[in-house]
Amino acid sequence: MMGLSNLSLSRNNKFTVVGCNALALLMTYGTRNHSAVCLSTCDSPPVANGECNGEGCCSTDVFVPLDSNKFHTLPTRVPNMTSVYDFNPCKDAFLGENGTFHFNASEDLKNLRNVKEFPVLLDWSIGNQRCDQVGNRSICCMNNSICVNSTRGTGYNCKCFEGFEGNPYLSNEKGCQGTLHVTLQENSGILTDIPTENEILGISRGISEETQNWVPSEFPRNIPTEFRGNINPSEYSEEITRKNVFLGKNR
């Protein structure tokens, strides 16, 4: 059994059983307990690789309660199925991040390629109070980040504003960064989807399908390929709209 303290198991994990005629039980513990069973059968070495389809390998989603903080696995063999021992002497059951295990019948049925561990995703949150309870005392005071209630049912997390990307817990260049993209289109003059003033860190230039036949020399030459520092987008919108182009967010 493994304890996770103030963490909880993510639902982006898979419970996997490798072996012929192997059965395994996964049990998770928290405010509500949960269990899952997986059965893998075969009487000869399977020929398929890559998928756990129930022949030599079984895999199932883990719909654990959000507050699960302990889990236990119990692998076993189906009784009186000793004919597979020559090519499958072992049985294995493990919890791992979805997509990190790819079944190889010729190797995994012998010793699981000597793999001793798999990555497991954990969910976490800050404290045990919600956003409305911590108020201004939350650590989500970095640029362009907000407080959101944790999906674990307790505590909170930080999140970048919509349109921004990065680490919401950092205030440096690795924190929440905003990027403005420009798309040139014919017969428009609308300025939309622009981050607020002083939050623009970059801008790129491109051509949409409607304008792919335009001569490059006809494009406004004063559209910068990159903004650095504090930029007010309104300073650039007037000249751009004179050319009947569209300034907005590239989708």
The separation between CA 195 and the C-alpha centre of its own chain, rounded to angstroms, equals: 25
76 — pLDDT class (breaks 50, 70, 90): confident
| Calpha distance 95→77 (Å, rounded) | 18
DSSP code, position 188: -
Q: CB of 145 within 8 A of CB of 170?
A: no
pLDDT 10s digits, 159-217: 999 888 899 998 888 889 876 554 544 444 444 444 443 333 333 334 333 333 333 33
Say which residue, 25 or 198, is predicted with more confidence: 25
Q: CB of 60 within 8 A of CB of 40?
A: no
* Model pLDDT, residue 179: 60
Q: DSSP string covering 197-222, please?
A: TT----EEEEE-GGGTTS-GGGS-TT
Closest CA to 152 of 5, 1, 48: 5
The mean per-residue pLDDT over the stretch 140-151 comes to 85
The mean per-residue pLDDT over the stretch 139-146 comes to 82
The mean per-residue pLDDT over the stretch 137-147 comes to 83
Say which residue, 69 or 129, is predicted with more confidence: 129
* Model pLDDT, residue 67: 66
Q: CB of 136 within 8 A of CB of 169?
A: no
Of 13-22, 71-80, 163-172, 195-204, least confident by mean pLDDT is 195-204
* Model pLDDT, residue 3: 57
58 — pLDDT class (breaks 50, 70, 90): very high
Say whether pLDDT at 42 is over 70: yes
Spans of all domains in the chain: 2-123, 125-176, 179-242
| Calpha distance 37→45 (Å, rounded) | 22
* Model pLDDT, residue 72: 82
Measured over the CA atoms of residue 4, residue 10, residue 11 and residue 17, the dihedral's sign is: negative
Alpha helices in 64-195 (DSSP H): 105-111, 131-134
| Calpha distance 91→40 (Å, rounded) | 10
Say whether pLDDT at 18 is over 80: yes
Q: What mean pLDDT is reported for the chain?
A: 71
* Model pLDDT, residue 147: 93
Q: CB of 156 within 8 A of CB of 48?
A: no
The mean per-residue pLDDT over the stretch 79-85 comes to 77
Place of tokens 């990027």: 179
* Model pLDDT, residue 16: 93
Q: CB of 140 within 8 A of CB of 87?
A: no
CA-to-CA separations, 235 to 48, 53, 222, in angstroms, rounded: 61, 59, 11
pLDDT 10s digits, 220-243: 444 444 433 333 444 444 333 333
